[in-house]
Each structure stands twice: as C-alpha cells, then as structure tokens.
Structure 1
Amino acid sequence: MKKYLLLTALSFAVITSSIAQTGSKYGTDSVTCITNISLFNEYFKQNNFVDALEPWRWVFSNCPAATKRTYLNGATMFEKLIADEKDPAVKSKYLDSLLAIYDQRIQYFGEEGLVLGKKALAIYDFAPERKEEINALFKKSVEKEGPKSGPAVLYKYFQVNTELFAEKKITKEDVIDVYDQVSEQIDANLEGPDSANYDKSRMNVETFFGPFATCEDLVEIYTPRLKATPDNVVLLRKIVNLFGKKDVMMQQFICRLQKISTKQNPLQKLL
C-alpha cells in the first residue's frame, strides 16, 4: 500500500514539476511539496494519522501556503490524535501543534475572526483550565465576526465568562455585558439557515444567565451608567431587553429612569 501511495504521489509530482521553476505557493521544492501533499491526503482519507504526520509536517514547514487543506485536515487529524492519546506529555505536544495550525492558517489564509474562534474552542475542549486565554480569544473572535460568529463560539464565550466569575476573576457586570453581546449576535441569526443551532445556543446561554438576571443586580449595575448618559438609546434598549417589559421591577425602574432622563426621554420610544 505504501508503495502504491508513493507511486501515486510521484506521478502527480512529475505532472506538475514545471511549477518548480516558478517560485510559486508550492515553495522552493515544489515537486517534494506536491508529493507530500498527495501522501498526506491519501493517508488522511484512510484515517491513518500516524503515517500522515510526516508528510503533513513537511508541507506545514516547507510550503505552508500551498493549500488550505493543510490546515483544515491537519486540525481534524490533531483533534483525533489528542482525543485518542493517553500520555499527557504527548497530548500536550499534539495540542501545541493544533494551535500552531490555527496561527499559521491566519498568517497565510486570513479569516482571523473565524479561526480565533476555532482556536478558542479547541483550547476549551482540550485545556479548559486556560480560561483567561480562552476568553481573550473568544472576545477578539466575536468582535471581528459579529453576527457571523458561530453558535458554539457564542455559547462557549458566555459559558467561560460564568466560570471566570465563579473563580472571582471577573465581575457580575462583565458577565452581563458579554450576555448582552452574545445575545445580540444570536438573535441576528434566529431567522437564518442555521437557526436551529443558534436557538440551541440561545437556550444554553439563557440557562447560564439565570443567576445573573436578578432585577436588583441589573438596577445596581445600570443606574450609574444611565445617570452618566441619560439619553443613550443603545443603553436604554439594552436595559429594556434585559428586564423584560412585563417585569414588575421593570416598571419601578422605568420610574427611576424617567427622573434621570431629560424631557425628551428616549426611553418612551422603546416601550
């Protein structure tokens, strides 16, 4: 089988050998690059990740811009290797390789926001104790992607914030701010083609948000903000969404807002 794979790869390399003189995306040794791409692809199709490692590493190091599949299939391969590995030291090295894949993919193929989200999810899955690093990656990803952020990224971003709060590393106000951020992006996708997954994300986020949604906490957090910017429509809209229009406490808070806001009171337009 290995002989067959090598012959296949060499045949493909001969056909494309003219690339060697062009200084193209296949690097300075394009024939070897294409040979190793072919070998990796064949081993990958067979789920033979042990033999796939060597040609993959060559491509990753020597012709990193050759094909995006080096990163797509490489990430899949290392996720499987990490999941199956029992030795913590080897598992850690595999994780380092997986994270390097995401970094180098950004370098050569862009999509920084999308890829940072994938990187954050990978660390969350395989090294969940690195919460602050995970949170920073999610934050940057969501800021760049906005409503294009995936449902898993949005849900996990909020979840890791609740965990950081439990460890007393962030405030309740921080958690509420992230809730508002992810809820806005989820809501923007509830009528889209992936609405079912975004709806699952929404339900998960709401479950985790429960302990942070007391009216007393919201009043304490948002009253000083509103006093500072009494006619901030964006802030007022956030308050209305968080409290819910039918909440009894909301009615009490409205009275407080009316005393704070100016005569034009933009709050009335939101109710």
Structure 2
Amino acid sequence: MRYAGLLVIWLLCSLSANAQKGIEDGSRFGHGEDSVRCIQHIALYKTYLQKNDFAQAYSPWKSVFTEAPWASPNIYTDGTQILRALIADSDNETKEEDYLTELMNIHDQHIQYLDSLNTLTHTPVTPGFVLGMKIHDYVMFSGTDINIDKAYRKEQEAIGMEKEKSTYYMLEDLMDLSLQKLKTNAGHIEQFIQDYLKASRYIRFRLESTINDPQKQHLWSITKDYIDTRFIESRCVTCEDLQKLYAPKIEQHRTDLAYINLVLSTLRQLKCTGEEVYLTASEAAYTLTPTAGLAAECGRLCYQRGKIEESITYFDEAAMLAPNPADKAEYCYRAARVLYQDKQWKRAKQYALKSISLDKDEGKPYILIAQMYASNPNWCKEATLNQCTYFAVIDKLQKAQSVDTSTADEATQLINTYQKHIPTEKALAGLGLKKGNAVILGGWINETIILR
C-alpha cells in the first residue's frame, strides 16, 4: 500500500514536471497537467454554451483561447458567440469596450493561426472571410465610436481578398461605410459609385451561381435590394448628375485611358449612355487607341445626337481600320443607314453599293437600297414612270433573297407590300410601253429596269 501511494505521488510530480501549454510547445492541447486542464475547460465551456450561459462559459473558454490557440477552430466561432452576447448584455460602457477589444483579438488570432486551424476542419476558411467578419463585428458593436475611415479601408481589403466570394454582410457593410463617408465628404462620390458597381457585380455573380437554390437566391435578392436602397439614398443616381460629375473630369484626364475606360464602364452599367459625356469619353478613348469598334461606337453616338457628318466620318474611319472585308462592309452599311435616315438618298446608295462591293453575300444593303427607292420613288413628272421605280425595288429585294437566305423572310414581306404599287399594263400602254421593254429610271436612282 505504501508503494502504491508513492507511485501516485510520483505520477503527479511527473505530470507537473512535464506540464506545458500548447502556446508554449506548439502542440494542440499542451502536455501534462496543462493538456488535462485544456480538455476539461473545453468540455466545461461547451456545457455552459449549450445552456446559453455565456457569462459562465467565458472564463474556461478564455483559458483555452489563451493557452491552446490551435486546439480547435471552434474556439474562435464559440468565442465570437460568447463575446457578442456579453457585449449585448452589458450595461457598462467600459466593459463593453473591453469586450469589443477582446472580440477583435479573437479575429486577429484566428487569422494568425488559420493555416494550422484549417487542417482540423473539412470546411476551411480564408483570411478575407475572417477579416470581413471582424469588420462586421466592429461595425455592429462600435456604436458612435466607430472609425469610419479605418473600417472602410479594412472592408475594402477584405473584399479585395474574397472578390465574388464576399459574404452578403461584407457587401452590405461596404455600402454602409461608403455612404457614411460620402455624407461627410462629397469628393468620395466617384469611389462610392465604384463600390456600388463592385458590390452589384459580385451579387449578380452569386445570383447566377445559386439559381438552383431558392433559399440562397432569396438571401442574395435581399442583399441586392439593400445595396440598391443605399445607392438611391445617396441621391447620385441620375444620369444628369453623372454628366455633371464626369464631364469636367474627362477634360482633366483626356490622356488617361484607364480612367476614361472606367468612366465608360460606369456609364454603361448605370445605363447613362445617352449623356453627352459618354460620347466625349468615347471620343477620348478613340483618340488614344483608335480601333474600328471605338470609331463605330462614336459614329453611332454622333448619329443619336443628330451629328450626321461626324457620324459618317467615324464610320469611314471604322471601315478603314476594320481588319477584314466583311467588317468594312458592315461599317459602310451603317453609314448608309445614317444617310438614309437623314434622307440623303444619293450618298446613302453610294455607301450601300460600297458595302455590297466588299461583301457580295450580304443581303442587308440590297434591302436598304430597295427601301430608299420606295421612300422616294419620284424622279420625273410622269406618275406612271415614277411607279416603275417599284420594279427596281423588287429587283433589289429579290437580289437580297438570292445572295443571303437570312434576309429571305423580310424581303418576301416587302415584295408583297411593294408589288401593289407596280403600274398596270393599261397605264403603261398609255405611254406606249409593254412587258419586256427597258425603262431607264433617272434622277438619283439611275437604274434600268425591265417591265414585267
């Protein structure tokens, strides 16, 4: 019996001598008495946590958190739950501040030991995710003492790390913080717009990727409504406001292609391409990097604003810069349409014929010429001869059908419409004409047709 007692004393002394905390020796739970105490404290705080007794759970949890920082990822999820509850239940301002500081430390330590902790779970997390959660807790519990600039910078950092994987509360916090900055600094407006567009882009990605998950779809739809509301609250959503904002800035940044492209992207996403600044930015981009696509876009925008000659100049440049005949033909066709809408029949026909010469398999220019003839068929004082123009109209439509099957349906419908305007045999006979005769259509039309 005496020997058994000595053995127990020896074991206890051995445990005490070999005791070491996990934080000290790099082990998961520590060694000796420290290891036993760590495991006991985990079980103890878990028991209190199940009862929602956060005050009692705090002390044993804090022991594990301090002595064995990588014992389990649950130390951090449980710790944040405990500290949030203690802050919410506290009526002591000093205590709340201390708890908040400790809550922030939980997130920092989580990131510090994240690589080791992730080896212990099937659902690892990223530093950006933890940082986003830290900022969310900071925003939720700081009250009026919040440092907006600091929180905003950290939120940007977290979202920059997570990108389209950003959580819904990270994107909501970004908009809240950005809006608060805007309210005290009008110069933040451009960045606020970019924050909104970024959040919208990531939410759109989430909505598309969760299309088969109604619950997640609902969550992300709520998030979308939330950030849209914040954007509307900013009162910088009208295209007129964006015109005022960006017009002077484009003049200041005419040689900064990156900035100009950012403005163009912003205006497109906010559906403000009808503003004059969109044309100004497009022209500036074209000056810096002349491409067929940019020239054509400038041509389209000029036409929308009634700047016909500028539009034609841009389409000419687009045709010149285009890499292949088919693209060149397309830009000539677009110029023809602009001139057609402006009732410059002769010039419109010239561009349409140029388009045909570049791409003989395209039916659209033939249809456009037919519509030109039908829109202005009168080339002399004789009504019956003017009606003969519709033979030329039908000739062009039939040509379109023969070279381009994709235009067949449209051409057929137009033929059925214009067939009714062809002069009768009696009317032609009154002029000494009959089927098979050739008639030269004068004026700008300048076509020879065969009566039939």
Q: Among all aligned residue pairs of Structure 1 and Structure 2, give the percentage whose two residues are the same amino acid.
A: 25
Take 1:102 and 1:135, find their aligned partners in 2: how far apart are those partners?
17
Deviation per residue, 1:12-42 (Å, 9 max, x gap): xxxxxxx999962112422211111111111
What are structure 1's unaligned runs of at least 5 residues?
1-18
Residue number among 65, 72, 80 corresponding to 1:75 in the alignment? 80
CA contact (8 A) 2:267 2:278 kept: no
Shift of 1:149: 0.4
Take 2:256 and 2:156, find their aligned partners in 1: how far apart are those partners?
26
Deviation per residue, 1:206-253 (Å, 9 max, x gap): 1221212232442333635565217976653333002x1xx5x62534
Residue number among 27, 35, 45 corresponding to 2:50 in the alignment? 45
CA distance change for structure 1 residues 167 and 157 in 2, over 3 Å: closer, same or farther?
A: same
Letter of the 2:28 counterpart: K
Deviates more, 1:222-231 or 1:167-176: 222-231
Corresponding pairs, count: 248
Deviation per residue, 1:53-75 (Å, 9 max, x gap): 11111101100110111100110
When Rg is computed on C-alpha atoms for both structures, the one with the higher figure is 2
Partner of residue 195, structure 1: 217
Take 2:292 and 2:229, find their aligned partners in 1: how far apart are those partners?
33
Letter of the 1:145 counterpart: E
Residue number among 269, 277, 281 corresponding to 1:241 in the alignment? 269
Letter of the 2:136 counterpart: L
Instruction: Give the structure, 1 or 2, with the largest relative contact order (CA under 8 Å, sep 6 or more).
Output: 1
CA contact (8 A) 2:135 2:154 kept: yes
CA distance change for structure 1 residues 254 and 137 in 2, over 3 Å: closer, same or farther?
A: closer
Partner of residue 209, structure 1: 231
Shift of 1:83: 0.8
Take 2:283 and 2:56, find their aligned partners in 1: how far apart are those partners?
71
CA distance change for structure 1 residues 32 and 173 in 2, over 3 Å: closer, same or farther?
A: same
CA contact (8 A) 2:264 2:281 kept: no
Shift of 1:151: 1.1
Residue number among 268, 271, 276 corresponding to 1:252 in the alignment? 276
3-state DSSP of counterpart to 1:132: helix
CA distance change for structure 1 residues 93 and 169 in 2, over 3 Å: closer, same or farther?
A: farther
What are structure 2's unaligned runs of at least 5 residues?
1-19, 116-125, 301-452
Deviation per residue, 1:143-189 (Å, 9 max, x gap): 00001101111012111111111122852112112112211111111
CA distance change for structure 1 residues 184 and 91 in 2, over 3 Å: closer, same or farther?
A: same
3-state DSSP of counterpart to 1:47: coil
Shift of 1:190: 1.2
Residue number among 25, 28, 31 corresponding to 2:28 in the alignment? 25
Deviates more, 1:162-171 or 1:150-159: 162-171
3-state DSSP of counterpart to 2:279: helix
Take 2:136 and 2:50, find their aligned partners in 1: how far apart are those partners?
24
Take 2:59 and 2:161, find their aligned partners in 1: how far apart are those partners?
34
Partner of residue 8, structure 1: none
CA contact (8 A) 1:20 1:31 kept: no
| TM-score for both structures, normalised by structure 1 | 0.81
CA distance change for structure 1 residues 98 and 230 in 2, over 3 Å: closer, same or farther?
A: closer
CA distance change for structure 1 residues 20 and 126 in 2, over 3 Å: closer, same or farther?
A: closer
Partner of residue 144, structure 1: 161
CA distance change for structure 1 residues 37 and 217 in 2, over 3 Å: closer, same or farther?
A: same
| TM-score for both structures, normalised by structure 2 | 0.50
Take 1:265 and 1:31, find their aligned partners in 2: how far apart are those partners?
74
Letter of the 2:256 counterpart: A
- Please show how residues 19-168 of structure 1 align to structure 2 within 5 Å: 24-28=27-31, 29-109=34-114, 111-128=126-143, 129-168=146-185
